[in-house]
Structure formats: C-alpha cells, structure tokens
Amino acid sequence: MRLLNPAALALLLLLPILLLLYMLRARRQDVVVSATLLWRRAQVDLLATRPLRRLERSLLLLLQLLIVGLLVLAAARPLVPWPGGSGEALIVVMDVSASMQATDVPPSRFEAARRDALALVERLRPGEEGMIIAAGRAPEVAAVFTGDRRALARTLRALTVTDGEARVADALALAAAHRRGRAARIVAFTDGTEPVPPSVVAEVRRFGRSGDNVGIVAMRAAPGLRGETHVVIRVHNAGGAPRQVPLTVLADGRPVTTQRLALPAGETRGIALTLPPPAPARMQAVIEAADLLAADNIAYAAAERAPLPA
C-alpha cells in the first residue's frame, strides 16, 4: 500500500493533543452538597497538585482516537495496488503532428499509436489513474488525472492530428511536472526522433518505418516596391534516395508556373518567383509526390502588404 497524499499524515499530531485534553484537570466549581460520601473520588482529585492526571480507561476516548485516525488515513488517500497491476499512475503523451498522418504504418501512424494507447488505458486497474497530454506546437493537457477509463478512452478517440509540428520534449517535461511526487509511468507515442529530456524518465514508442517523404517546408509571398510579388518556396526530401517532383505555383487559383525539382536525398531545394502586379490575394504551391504524407504536398501563403512610401 502507498499513500497518494502522505503530507496528510501530519494531522496525526491531533492524537497527542486529544490525549492531552483528557489528561488535563478540569477547573472545579464550588457547589454545596448535603454529603461527600459519593464525592470522595472527586475530592481526591481536587487535593492533587499536579495539573495533569493519569490517563484512565475510557471507551469514549478510544472511539475519538479511532475516528481521528481514520479521518487522517482517508486524507492521506491510501492506494492498495490491484493484483496484477503496477499501482502506478499512467501519463500518455500523444504526438498530434502532421507527420503522424503518414501511412507507412496502416492505417496511419497516429491511428496505430492511438490503438496502443487505448490498450494501455484499458489495462488500468481500480484505484489507478491516467492522464493524457497532446503534443503539438505547444503541449496541452487533454485529460487530467482520473480513474475513469471510459473518459480517458473518449479523450483519446477525440484527439485529431494537426498540420503543424510537435514539441514532444516539452510535452514530456509537462508530464513530469504533473507527477507531483506520485509514482507515474510516462509513455510517449510519436514518430519523431527528438531525445527525451535528461530530467525525465519516460518510455517512448516510435511509429514509422520509413522517412520516404517529400514535402513543402516553407512558402512566403512578399510585395515589392513597384507592386510586384516575390514568392519563395522550399521543398525538402526526407527520403534516402534522390527524387524529382513537379511543383506547380498558383495565384488566386490560376496556374503561374510548373517546374520540376531535382531533390537529393535529405536535401532541401527552393525556387523564387517574381509576379507582376496586381498582387494576388492568395498564393498556392502544390507538388505531385506519391509518398507517405499528403498533408505537406500543398501550401498556402497570403500576400503581405506593400511597404508604405517614405
């Protein structure tokens, strides 16, 4: 058995205080009586000079001590591990970045990770609690500590991937901060290779067998001094072999140019365009690449405002 709130044991100091109250001699009040035959015991107590008296057997005292002890034990939140369970809390860190949509692990990296996370939650025993943290651009607590396995499962099923990155290290640090001195097992589900912070003890389950992916990693549209629009697009090849992919640029939905990019393995290449006025409201770039992730095959950029004349 372990205690989830051991600081509450400080309340056991109430027990000696209760005993002291029983040992203190009460202040007496003078009362006229007809005889002292039945009051001899009280008379002996009056003649004593010590402020404390010997503790005598009292059923009421025993009951009060028992009640105080049980209340303190309840405040300390004892946890008895269920047979076959670890007795630890569980903190699940789910990577919700765009790359988790890759399909090299069927049906996708994210769905495979979610399936494993649900299996962990289902194995929680009575008295054990779980927490869920979504690792996106900023870590977010999706579910606080609870022993309700159904609520944790609903939270996991409600999580969706984003089109952004994941800061898994920050999410792991957040998970460690939520331990609050309790025994907790941290399990992260991710496809990234980001190292675990040295101060965090966590189990990392990685998904994804291949890095064969080409994606647009940057796009910007900026105005020029004469009303023209400068467009910069960068494409990265994360695979282990060189690739050639067609890149199409559109302005307000109209094709502007199509170029074929030669991308060495692990390298980034880009193009720069200058469009004559009038400036488009929205630029779009599309690459045709049959790879693991479709979300990064398209990018958008809104044209920035032209600088004001001096």
Give yes or no for residue 283 having a pLDDT over 60: yes
The answer to whether position 309 is within a domain reads no
The answer to whether position 98 is within a domain reads yes
What domain range includes position 56?
Answer: 2-78
Q: Does residue 202 sit in the same domain as residue 95? A: yes
Q: Which of 28-37, 133-142, 293-302 has the lowest mean pLDDT?
A: 28-37
Compute how many other C-beta atoms are within 10 angstroms of the C-beta atom of residue 65.
16
Q: Does residue 117 sit in the same domain as residue 198? A: yes
Q: Does residue 198 sit in the same domain as residue 256? A: no
Q: Does residue 138 sit in the same domain as residue 183? A: yes
Q: Does residue 94 sit in the same domain as residue 199? A: yes
Compute how many other C-beta atoms are within 10 angstroms of the C-beta atom of residue 282.
13
Q: Does residue 95 sit in the same domain as residue 157? A: yes
Q: Does residue 68 sit in the same domain as residue 26? A: yes
Structural tokens at position 168: 């898994």
* Strand pairing category for 203-206 and 214-223: unpaired
| Model pLDDT, residue 242 | 92
Q: What percent of the chain has pLDDT over 70?
A: 84
* Strand pairing category for 130-135 and 89-95: parallel
> CB-based contacts of 158: which residues, under 8 Å, 6+ apart?
142
Comparing 45 with 243, the larger pLDDT belongs to: 243
Alpha carbon dihedral 155, 194, 106, 300, in 10-degree steps, equals 80
| Predicted TM-score (pTM) above 0.85 | no
Task: Kindly state the average pLDDT of the residues 114-130.
Answer: 94
Residue whose token pair is 């072999």: 241
| pLDDT tens digit sequence for 59-86 | 888 888 899 889 988 888 776 554 444 5
The answer to whether position 310 is within a domain reads no
Structural tokens at position 289: 């690449």
User: Environment class of residue 168 by beta-carbon count within 10 Å: exposed (0-12), middle (13-18) or buried (19+)?
Assistant: buried
Using CA atoms, how far apart are residues 187 and 171, in angstroms rounded to an integer?
11
| Model pLDDT, residue 282 | 92
| CA nearest neighbour of 205 among 214, 215, 218, 196 | 196
Helix H or strand E segment including 286: strand 282-287
Q: Does residue 232 sit in the same domain as residue 287? A: yes
Q: What percent of the chain has pLDDT over 90?
A: 45
| Model pLDDT, residue 3 | 67
| Model pLDDT, residue 84 | 45
Q: Which of 177, 206, 235 is the last residue of a domain?
A: 206
Q: Does residue 15 sit in the same domain as residue 44? A: yes
| pLDDT tens digit sequence for 163-202 | 778 899 999 999 999 987 778 999 999 988 788 888 898 9
The answer to whether position 307 is within a domain reads no
Q: Which of 155, 175, 206 is the last residue of a domain?
A: 206
The answer to whether position 13 is within a domain reads yes
The CATH number assigned to the domain holding 177 equals 3.40.50.410
The CATH number assigned to the domain holding 245 equals 2.60.40.10
* Total domains in the fold of the chain: 3
| Model pLDDT, residue 104 | 84
Q: Does residue 99 sit in the same domain as residue 55? A: no
Q: Does residue 94 sit in the same domain as residue 201? A: yes
Q: Which of 49, 78, 107 is the last residue of a domain?
A: 78
Q: Which of 41-45, 139-143, 267-271, 275-279 has the lowest mean pLDDT?
A: 41-45
Strand order in the sheet with 282-287: 254-263, 243-251, 282-287, 298-302
Task: Kindly state the average pLDDT of the residues 133-146.
Answer: 94
**For 276, which DSSP code?**
P
* Strand pairing category for 203-206 and 184-190: parallel
Q: Does residue 177 sit in the same domain as residue 127? A: yes
**For 278, which DSSP code?**
S
The answer to whether position 308 is within a domain reads no
Comparing 53 with 138, the larger pLDDT belongs to: 138
Side chain identity at 280, as an amino acid letter?
P
| Model pLDDT, residue 58 | 78
